[in-house]
A and B are shown apart, each in its own frame.
With several copies, the nearest count.
Chain A
Amino acid sequence: MPDYLPHTDEDVAAMLEFLGLATLDELFAAVPAALRLNRELALDTGSPEPDVLARARARANRAAELICFAGAGAYDHEVPPVVRQLASRSEFVTAYTPYQPEVAQGGLQAIFEFQTMVSRLFGLPIANASLYDGASALVEAVNLAVGATGRHRVLVSAGVHPNWRAVLATFAAGTGHQLVEVPLTEGRSDWSTADSEEAGAVVVGYPNYLGCLEDLGAARAAADARGALLAVAADPVAAGILKSPGEWGADVAVGEGQPFGAPLGFGGPYLGLFACSSAHVRRLPGRLVGETVDADGTRAYVTTLRAREQDIRREKATSNVCTNQTLIALTAAVQLGWLGTAGLAEVATRCARGAQHCRAGLLALDGVEPLTGTTPTVREFALGLRVPAAVVQARLAEEGFLAGVALDQLVGEDGDGSVGAEEAPNALLVSVTERRTRTEIDRFVAAFDKALR
């Protein structure tokens, strides 16, 4: 009966005696007898660690072994041993939210550095200490915009990741926002389709989820025309070579931070990035670390503007967020520290370089068409195939490749404003990271050719 509990039988006996109790069961005297479970849980009895590890190993997935050309917001980037090792230091891993700053300077300073990095990346002066993921960051961005403008109508480009739009829609049921989908034309948002009523937010991807570069100038204009804030869902890696959302005039920028050191991990834990202009700092969702001094005047860090938060503001809080993704944010700070100025630019460039090579190779094949016309893409791109994308995926898996993301998985068989019903089943989104070598890409293209036949 091995477990992690330190209590010897004598301990239990002595403690019960101190409490004037005869049995452990009496500890639960307050629980009405009728409610007690009074049977064992229908779970196995405890297994020793080696058995549990063996069981977990047996749940390994074939996808883990494939050379990855899938993206759509989750990318197979290089994470070096040094980043893994630093980010897994147990002081960081087994700490709580820094309620006692005197013994939490380590985590606080790391997050302060993270905020600085995100702020610089997105070109906006304020960044918070993380949100759950890109989708939740977008939800908070829209909430901020609606709160700031008092307008519930929200224009959402169909180029925003379909899952994120789905999450937006789910939560809009509570907040009552009215979401208006703005469809894509040749992979770019067509703002002319939306009516010109006032709105609280205009939301657009950069690049959008199909990999296309949106015209953020047009998006800014669409927002201005409607009195809305502009919220940009930016790919943080592509941001390494693209004009920043801030420079384009965004009020809020959000992103999925997974590419900065988090493993693919079947979708989580990931990292919601959130930055905004100074005007909105008091509406900021989530935690914010600020610099201050200690009693001796030494530089110190602490979570600040706490009056926005739920534990103080309760039903009037800017958001309900409490536990968040701090460790992943810290990991991102380490990973961005490792990449540095040149490294981030190099990663972004390499992704683009590989993607362009791959795209050219695939488009030269019989039975492959571009799905977004000639609109420029950066690190991923959408294709229309002669055969269903799922079939190509299955065939390429046999050859050792994860071929990309089948778009009907994201938009459904009926498609949406980004991909039409006719295109959806045969549409594939392909992504290339800096880990993909030229040889791998060339082999992939050759295997793809075979798979189409």
Chain B
Amino acid sequence: MSAAGGRAASAPLVGREAEPTIFELSRPGRRSYQLPTSGFEELGPDELVPPEHQRSEPVALAEVSERDLVGHFTRLSHRQYSVDLGAYPLGSCTMKYNPKVCDAVAALSGLSDVHPAAPAELAQGWLATLTELERALCELAGMAAATLQPAAGAAGELTGLLLMRAYDEARGERRQRVIIPDSAHGTNPASVTLGGYEVTTVQSDERGCVDVGALRQVLDDDVAGMMLTNPNTLGLFEEDIVEIADAVHEVGGLMYYDGANLNAILGVVRPGDMGFDIVHLNLHKTFATPHGGGGPGAGPVAVAGHLADFLPGPRAVRLESAGPDDPPRYGWATPARSIGRVHGWHGNALVLARALAYIEVHGRDGLLRVAERAVLNANWLRRRLAGTLAVPFDRPCMHEVVFSAAPVHKRTGASAHDVAKGLIDEGFHPPTVAFPLIVDDALMVEPTETESYETLVALAEAIERVVARAERHELADAPTTTPVRRVDEARAARMLIPTFDARR
């Protein structure tokens, strides 16, 4: 007998049982689907597909009633933390509140029901959206032009590296190395490899920033460029950025800006003005695309003028108008020396539309406030918690702050990981743990600008309580209030069960 789809015992509201998989809820012969009346006689696969191509049996999916489908996924949703439930201070992830108006924009039929290969004349609204977003992003980044195709930050990074490469080749060069700081996000080195470069890591200094001396030592004319995020992944502003950029430029390298931390500097300082040549922007972080449990995002890449010709294509462009009073018209154009496509179509278009709406609602004034409040919140927490956790780099931070639980760990045996689990029982999603790698027992807190003063206080108090529990050795069991207790991650890798069918 299959499981009962109407039993809510897995909903934290009324129980703590495991939710059956949809396959366990399945019963042959049940169905949810309804298709429109087509008016066709009922030809089956036999008449439609040559025998050698026919599937012997239909794909065995779950067979559930609509009622069980709804019960199942609604209960699953109750087993999922989210920004809409509470603060989500994951450092580097910028889990801010996402205005619902952006959902409404993305749901508009006039945008969402458009085929990506529709002729440009039938998709003028979309082309206008893309060109306006490109313009706004370029203004925010201090860049000349952008591609909106990359589907996430990492895709933007790789695109940027291929731009470096194309630029190199156009110069007749074949540089081999790209420099990244040891604090860099893991996508940076991974993208460097995929871009066909070797990674040269440069140490951070005791202030948590790029060691300019060490940098100079690895710079030579084999260096295609350097990837940096500023503020960096420690939440610190690289004050020597001009010196760094100059040094890289001197050896003929390009500066790449990892825009995952742009939230901190909107309207304050622009990557282009810091000397960067290529910038990717994580729209799903800064521009309030809800993160969807791991995407979709968007990672547009903006570049300085000398790189515009290499951008992926086609790009939406505004066409010359026939007359001054004619409405604007838009078309597609591929840059002269384009590296080619980096997405099957035009990028994550509905995410792009959301980002434009976010920018429009906030405007230049609102975006500046975003940065100010994000930095204010992080600094307040840094100062407030300095007595509770270690602050490895104790100076004003930008939009996030990295603490270390190492002293607590040493004293009590409770690691950053344990502190994180303890915080769950306090009603908060934990900060990022174990990143950046250069800080022991890192707890990386990014409150974002949308959390209130009261929430910051409550979060600080919760962390203080958790550390106190650590001192009393009470964290080993945490979390205790969640539908499942601490999950055995090692076992998952050791006894791999990647599908329901692998259980047997």
Are chains A and B touching in the complex at the 8 Å CB cutoff?
yes
In angstroms, Cα B293 to Cα A51, docked, is 30
**Among the listed B34, B56, B165, B344, which residue makes an inter-chain contact with A267, where contact means beta carbons less than 8 Å apart?**
B344
Contacts of B322 in A (CB 8 A): none
A175 to B187, Cβ gap below 8 A? no
B84 to A136, Cβ gap below 8 A? no
Contacts of A127 in B (CB 8 A): 498-499
Cβ-based interface call for B110 (8 A): yes
- Whether A352 touches B33, Cβ cut-off 8 Å, given contacts A82-B66, A113-B23, is no
In angstroms, Cα B162 to Cα A60, docked, is 34
A46 to B191, Cβ gap below 8 A? no
In angstroms, Cα B101 to Cα A121, docked, is 28
A106-149 CB contact bits vs B (8 Å, 1 = yes)?
A: 11011111011101110001110110111110000001000000
A342 to B58, Cβ gap below 8 A? yes
**Among the listed A81, A167, A243, which residue makes an inter-chain contact with B101, where contact means beta carbons less than 8 Å apart?**
A81
Residue of B nearest to A31 (CB): B269
B112 to A263, Cβ gap below 8 A? yes
Contacts of B499 in A (CB 8 A): 112, 115-116, 119, 125-127
30 intermolecular pairs with C-beta atoms under 8 Å apart: A6-B27, A7-B376, A11-B27, A19-B379, A42-B139, A59-B125, A61-B125, A62-B121, A66-B122, A68-B115, A74-B116, A82-B66, A89-B77, A93-B84, A95-B291, A104-B80, A109-B76, A125-B499, A133-B344, A166-B341, A296-B484, A302-B489, A324-B152, A339-B33, A341-B59, A341-B60, A352-B43, A352-B48, A356-B43, A437-B37
B193 to A315, Cβ gap below 8 A? yes
Cβ-based interface call for A451 (8 A): no
Q: In the complex, how many residue pairs between chain A and chain B have their CB atoms under 8 Å apart? A: 780
A46 to B363, Cβ gap below 8 A? yes
Cβ-based interface call for B323 (8 A): no
Contacts of B21 in A (CB 8 A): 109, 112-113, 116
**Among the listed A111, A119, A302, which residue makes an inter-chain contact with B487, where contact means beta carbons less than 8 Å apart?**
A302
Contacts of B109 in A (CB 8 A): 60, 64
What's the nearest-Cβ distance from chain B to residue A86, in Å?
4
B451 to A6, Cβ gap below 8 A? yes
- Whether A37 touches B268, Cβ cut-off 8 Å, given contacts A267-B349, A315-B199, is yes
Contacts of A348 in B (CB 8 A): 45
B224-259 CB contact bits vs A (8 Å, 1 = yes)?
A: 000000000000110101100000000000000000
In angstroms, Cα B19 to Cα A265, docked, is 33
**Among the listed A105, A175, A270, A378, which residue makes an inter-chain contact with B79, where contact means beta carbons less than 8 Å apart?**
A105
- Whether A92 touches B104, Cβ cut-off 8 Å, given contacts A116-B500, A133-B343, A242-B53, is no
B501 to A119, Cβ gap below 8 A? yes
A116 to B77, Cβ gap below 8 A? no
The A-contacting residues of B in range 37-89, CB under 8 angstroms, are 37-40, 43-45, 48-50, 52-56, 58-70, 72-85, 88
3 closest Cβ pairs, A-B complex: A60-B110, A267-B345, A327-B292
Interface centre among B63, B196, B343 (most CB of A within 10 A): B343
In angstroms, Cα B121 to Cα A44, docked, is 27
Residue of B nearest to A431 (CB): B115
The A-contacting residues of B in range 357-392, CB under 8 angstroms, are 357, 359-370, 372-373, 375-377, 379-380, 383-384
What's the nearest-Cβ distance from chain B to residue A50, in Å?
4
In angstroms, Cα B270 to Cα A42, docked, is 13
In angstroms, Cα B147 to Cα A167, docked, is 14
The B-contacting residues of A in range 422-439, CB under 8 angstroms, are 434-439
What's the nearest-Cβ distance from chain A to residue B489, in Å?
5
Cβ-based interface call for A22 (8 A): no
What's the nearest-Cβ distance from chain B to residue A27, in Å?
5
- Whether A394 touches B162, Cβ cut-off 8 Å, given contacts A5-B373, A73-B344, is no
Cβ-based interface call for A328 (8 A): yes
Contacts of A30 in B (CB 8 A): 236-237, 239, 395-396, 398
Cβ-based interface call for B204 (8 A): no
**Among the listed B83, B97, B242, B295, which residue makes an inter-chain contact with A35, where contact means beta carbons less than 8 Å apart?**
B242
In angstroms, Cα B479 to Cα A343, docked, is 41
B107-147 CB contact bits vs A (8 Å, 1 = yes)?
A: 01111111111110111111011000000100110000000
B38 to A266, Cβ gap below 8 A? no
A53 to B104, Cβ gap below 8 A? yes
Interface centre among A27, A343, A397 (most CB of B within 10 A): A27
A402 to B36, Cβ gap below 8 A? no
Contacts of A327 in B (CB 8 A): 292-296
B69 to A268, Cβ gap below 8 A? no
A54-77 CB contact bits vs B (8 Å, 1 = yes)?
A: 111111111110101010111010
Cβ-based interface call for A227 (8 A): no
Cβ-based interface call for B31 (8 A): yes
Residue of A nearest to B360 (CB): A52
Residue of B nearest to A213 (CB): B53
In angstroms, Cα B500 to Cα A290, docked, is 9
What's the nearest-Cβ distance from chain B to residue A103, in Å?
4
**Among the listed A36, A81, A268, which residue makes an inter-chain contact with B348, where contact means beta carbons less than 8 Å apart?**
A268
B31 to A91, Cβ gap below 8 A? no
- Whether A170 touches B340, Cβ cut-off 8 Å, given contacts A86-B73, A92-B82, is yes
The A-contacting residues of B in range 138-197, CB under 8 angstroms, are 139-140, 151-155, 157-158, 161-162, 165-166, 185-187, 189-196
In angstroms, Cα B75 to Cα A326, docked, is 18
B105 to A376, Cβ gap below 8 A? no
Interface centre among B80, B140, B346 (most CB of A within 10 A): B80
A85 to B37, Cβ gap below 8 A? no
Cβ-based interface call for A178 (8 A): no
Cβ-based interface call for A200 (8 A): no
What's the nearest-Cβ distance from chain A to residue B175, in Å?
13
B496 to A304, Cβ gap below 8 A? yes
Cβ-based interface call for A192 (8 A): no
Stretch at the interface among B210-218, B427-435, B463-471: B427-435
Contacts of B111 in A (CB 8 A): 56, 59-61, 64, 265-266
Contacts of A101 in B (CB 8 A): 484, 487, 489
In angstroms, Cα B190 to Cα A309, docked, is 9
A296 to B103, Cβ gap below 8 A? no
- Whether A5 touches B369, Cβ cut-off 8 Å, given contacts A35-B273, A402-B118, is yes
Cβ-based interface call for B401 (8 A): no
B30 to A78, Cβ gap below 8 A? no
Interface centre among A302, A306, A393 (most CB of B within 10 A): A302
A171 to B493, Cβ gap below 8 A? no
Not counting A42-B364, A94-B84, A241-B45, a sample of 11 additional A-B residue pairs whose C-beta atoms are within 8 angstroms of each other reads A81-B103, A90-B290, A107-B76, A116-B499, A125-B498, A174-B165, A292-B487, A310-B190, A334-B69, A350-B38, A356-B43
